[in-house]
Structures are given as structure tokens and as C-alpha cells.
Amino acid sequence: MTGPEPPSDNRPATPGEGARLRLMTPADLEAVLGVEAVSHPDPWSATMLRDSLEHGDACRVAEQGGAILGHAILRVTGPEAEILNLCVHPDYRNHRLGRALLQDLVEFARQAGAEEIFLEVRESNGHARRLYDGEAFHEVGWRERYYRGPEGWEDAVIMARHLGPAGGRSPAGGDR
């Protein structure tokens, strides 16, 4: 992987739960595909995941006891970063793993020099939208018919968070 060192290898994802965030490796692909398959009506393919690893995207997993509980992928391009994928196995949702993965990607984007971070989320995914809103993301637009699902196509909400230049910190130490 290119860019800055990931900020949280082997850092507990959630205190007391024993999950750890670490780099995704090619050996993780089968488990990550399993999480994708039970989480999305239109999951990422092995090719898409392999391409992200080979491209040098920030590819992270949340792991506990050798089991992959979730994963996240971020691409940084100059002053912008985009969260391409953030997924937690349904059995492990509401344990703060998604928040830990999201915070990890935001920190990686800051260290890589990104000034803005973007993502798309299904319009109907209220749980994820509340998570992103709680982490200072805000709606900036829509993509019509972006996600495919069993009921047909669904719009995406585009969300963004300003990180600011040089790590996104104001002199007082808070986000702008």
C-alpha cells in the first residue's frame, strides 16, 4: 500500500470486544467476500476487492479471533478522498465497529493530506446515514439509480466531510 502508514494497526476497534483493525491482505479476500455477500444485495466482487488492494487503496479489516467482522476501503486522490466501501457483518452491527472503521479511514485521509472526504450511501440506509452524520459528514448531493437491489434501483446520497488543509485541524484542535 502506498501513502502514509495506517494509523491504527492492532488498535482495539471497540474497547472490551477484542476486535482489531488492520490492513487487508489478499488472504482476507474470501472472508471479506463472505461479509459482502450477507450484507449487500449487490456485493463487491473478488476482482473489485483485488483491484483496490493492487491500486494501493487504504484497505482495512476489523478482525476478532481470526474472523473478519467488517472491512473498509478508502481511495485518496490529491486533496480528495473517497470511502469506496464500509461494511460490517450483520451479526456484528451496533458494536461500534463501523464507527471505528470510519474513524480509521478519516484519520488515514488526513495523514495522506486529503482536504475533503466523500462517500455514497443508499437513500434507504438510515442507520449508515446517522453514523456518517454523527461523524460530521453532511449531504452534498444525490446520484439517481446508483445502487442495484432486489427491488430495483435506488438513489444514493452523496455525503462529504471537510478535513481542511494540512490535516484538517483548526488552531484550537477541532475540525473546521
Residues of the chain with pLDDT > 90: what percent? 67
pTM of this structure:
0.82
pLDDT for 69 equals: 96
Q: Does 6 score more than 50 pLDDT?
A: no
Q: Does 90 score more than 80 pLDDT?
A: yes
pLDDT for 114 equals: 97
Q: What digits encode the pLDDT tens for the residues 94-124?
A: 889 999 999 999 999 999 999 999 999 988 8
- In the three-class reduction of DSSP (H, G, I as helix; E, B as strand; rest coil), residue 23 is classed as strand
Cα four-point dihedral sign 98, 100, 101, 106: positive
In our burial notation (b when 16+ CB lie closer than 10 A, e otherwise), range 131-155 reads bbeebebeeeeeeeebbeeeeeebe
Q: What digits encode the pLDDT tens for the residues 17-54?
A: 678 999 999 999 999 999 999 998 889 999 999 999 99
pLDDT for 35 equals: 97
Annotated active-site positions, please?
Answer: 120, 132
Residues 118/82, Cβ–Cβ less than 8 Å: yes
CA distance 41 to 52: 20
